[in-house]
């Protein structure tokens, strides 16, 4: 385990320090584990944030993601009134190929070495069963299966929270919480996005989906033939955009062409 000061690089290449308390690089050669844990702040309590398992193209890309995500978690936890700080972690690699019990347990030992400064949970590429395995090595884990005393799949509550936010925004924008007939574009139909589509269909919205995973789109359309697929939601005439992918969706370029009155989704950053 290597503990370092986090550094970022601006567009002109100059380096600058972040405000993070701690950034830890973790490596376990026998299992192939390469992970980064970022703790932005523990001013309100231990840094809480999920573990993202993703095939980043480079370590610098993974570091940039964990720095942004852990900072966002500090603000999210504070706004929610929780006695928790902001943390996040990423495991570098394709979970379909690299994820094993020994790797997750090695990762759990790294979390344990932080002595409770960081509490992990599910994120992209990890699930409740993974948290159960990590929890065999440390106690700073939430989001375990219900059989192991956890709350289970967090996407159930996340998608419901997005739906409530969408209805509240609709009332502000159009004077009614009804989404009937509204065109909603959902970017990313993983566990959260898939459940959100279910809620939207029940609300009689018109749904358009977009995902780099064609299989995920096919699954949605097989269940709900009325759902349309699009390669680029920016080109669609939408009432609401729901970013539920990895992040970085709402750029100045998109904002300049976006037709949606409301942006309400589950994606960070």
d(CA 132, CA 122): 11
Give the DSSP H or E segment for 263: strand 262-263
Q: Which residue has the tokens 């539920």?
A: 244
Q: Which residue is listed with tokens 């978690």?
A: 73
CB 217 within 8 A of CB 227: no
Distance CA 154, CA 151 (A): 7
Per annotation, catalytic residue among 68, 71, 76, 88: 88
Burial of 45 (0-12, 13-18, 19+ CB in 10 A): middle
Compute how many other C-beta atoms are within 10 angstroms of the C-beta atom of residue 214. 9
The tokens of 109 are what? 């030992």
Which residue is listed with tokens 């969706």?
249
Residues linked to residue 48 through DSSP beta bridges, in sequence order: 86, 119
237 is catalytic: no
Q: Where does the chain have alpha helices with state H?
A: 59-79, 95-98, 101-113, 128-134, 155-174, 191-202, 214-223, 252-257
How many helices and strands in the chain, by DSSP H and E? Answer: 8, 14
DSSP percent split of the chain into helix, strand, coil, nearest 5: 35, 25, 40
Task: Supply the residues annotated as catalytic.
Answer: 88
């Amino acid at each position: 385990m290597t503990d370092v000061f986090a550094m970022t690089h601006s567009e002109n290449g100059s380096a600058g320090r972040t405000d993070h308390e701690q950034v830890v690089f973790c490596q376990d050669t026998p299992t192939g584990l390469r992970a980064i844990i970022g703790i932005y702040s523990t001013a309100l309590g231990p840094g809480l944030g999920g573990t993202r398992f993703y095939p980043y193209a480079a370590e610098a890309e993974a570091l940039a993601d964990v720095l942004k995500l852990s900072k966002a978690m500090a603000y999210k936890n504070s706004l929610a009134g929780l006695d928790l700080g902001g943390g996040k972690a990423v495991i570098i690699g394709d979970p379909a190929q690299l994820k094993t019990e020994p790797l997750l347990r090695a990762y759990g030992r790294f979390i344990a070495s932080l002595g409770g400064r960081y509490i992990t949970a599910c994120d992209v590429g990890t699930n409740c069963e993974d948290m159960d395995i990590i929890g065999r090595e440390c106690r700073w884990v939430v989001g375990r299966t219900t059989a192991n005393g956890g709350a289970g799949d967090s996407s159930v509550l996340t998608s419901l929270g997005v739906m409530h936010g969408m209805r509240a925004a609709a009332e502000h924008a159009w004077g009614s919480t009804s989404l009937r007939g509204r065109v909603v574009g959902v970017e990313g139909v993983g566990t959260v996005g898939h459940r959100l589509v279910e809620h939207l269909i029940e609300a009689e919205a018109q749904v358009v989906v977009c995902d780099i995973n064609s299989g995920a789109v096919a699954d949605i359309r097989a269940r709900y033939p009325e759902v349309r697929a699009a390669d680029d939601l920016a080109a669609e005439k939408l009432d609401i955009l729901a970013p539920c992918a990895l992040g970085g969706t709402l750029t100045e370029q998109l904002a300049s062409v976006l037709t949606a009155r409301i942006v309400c989704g589950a994606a960070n950053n």
